[in-house]
Homo-oligomer: A and B are copies of this chain.
Amino acid sequence: MTTNDSGTIPDAEPLGAATDLATALRELIELSVVTTVGAGEVRAAADLVRAASERLAVARRPIEQLPALGGRAFDPVGGQASALAPPLVLRREEGGVVGEATLGVAYEGPPTYVHGGMSALLMDSVLANAAAAAGVWGMTAHLELDYRGPLPIGRPLVFRGRVAESGGRKSRMVGTIALASAPDEALVEASGLFIMPRQEKADVYFGGIADASGEHQPQSRAGDATAVAED
């Protein structure tokens, strides 16, 4: 279960509605890339999208106000209510986290393969979530990826992350992406250094944050990763 920043479970219906919209958007994004219908139909689809925007535009929160659902629901990687999020759900395994995802044509770089930058985006999230699952936390200070082979679009991939070394405010994380059918042959290897900001720096970074009611809410663990499914 995903909890919000104050540790409570958010109201199920707003989360359900936001997840429904994100799921519908992900499908439309994929279709927008693979459709071969004529330009008139594409324009008609755009009109429907603008009609949807009109409904949502009537009330919005300012940047510095946290969403009522809790920040991680909208995380652009793995957030169930984010339309951008590649559909990757992580779970705990011995020594780290693991998750499977099949990426659509919307995530394509070279023809029929996942964009190299998408692997970096996904692994930053996998490593951060593995850190959080291990009880360490930090912001990305260094990220490094070796690409051994391209990741095919439309085939199940497996993502793994674990702590390599941890001490004080620093954690070095490592992880891989492989075909689910050959999980031990890493096609992408990633490592990252995550550092928990000192309190005085966290105050500078997050001192202006307000919760959904508009109350000031200093962030102690602003990057809290709750995208890891509980057992």
Closest B residue to A62 by beta carbon equals B34
CB distance from A78 to the nearest CB of B (A): 10
Residue A182, interface by CB 8 Å: no
Are B20 and A34 in contact, CB atoms less than 8 angstroms apart? no
Contact string, A80-102, partner B, CB cutoff 8 A, digits 1/0?
01111000000000000000000
Closest B residue to A29 by beta carbon equals B83
Among A138-146, A157-165, A167-175, the stretch that binds chain B is A138-146
State in angstroms the CA–CA spacing of A161 and B43 once bound together.
35
Residue A4, interface by CB 8 Å: no
Question: Which residues of B have CB within 8 Å of A105?
Answer: 63, 74
Given A16-B39, A42-B17, A63-B105 in contact, is the A53-B76 Cβ separation under 8 Å? no
CB distance from A194 to the nearest CB of B (A): 9
Are B108 and A74 in contact, CB atoms less than 8 angstroms apart? yes
State in angstroms the CA–CA spacing of A18 and B38 once bound together.
10
Contact string, A6-21, partner B, CB cutoff 8 A, digits 1/0?
0000000110111011
Given A50-B24, A76-B118 in contact, is the A83-B32 Cβ separation under 8 Å? yes
* Most chain B CB neighbours (cut-off 10 Å) among A18, A56, A75: A56
> Which range holds the interface residue count of chain A?
35 or more
Residue A187, interface by CB 8 Å: no
193-231 of chain A: CB within 8 A of chain B: 205-206, 208-209, 219, 222-223
Question: Which residues of B have CB within 8 Å of A53?
Answer: 24, 27-28, 31, 45
Are B206 and A110 in contact, CB atoms less than 8 angstroms apart? yes
Residue A66, interface by CB 8 Å: yes
Are B112 and A117 in contact, CB atoms less than 8 angstroms apart? no
* Most chain B CB neighbours (cut-off 10 Å) among A83, A113, A150: A83
Are B150 and A205 in contact, CB atoms less than 8 angstroms apart? yes
Residue A52, interface by CB 8 Å: yes
Are A21 and B25 in contact, CB atoms less than 8 angstroms apart? no
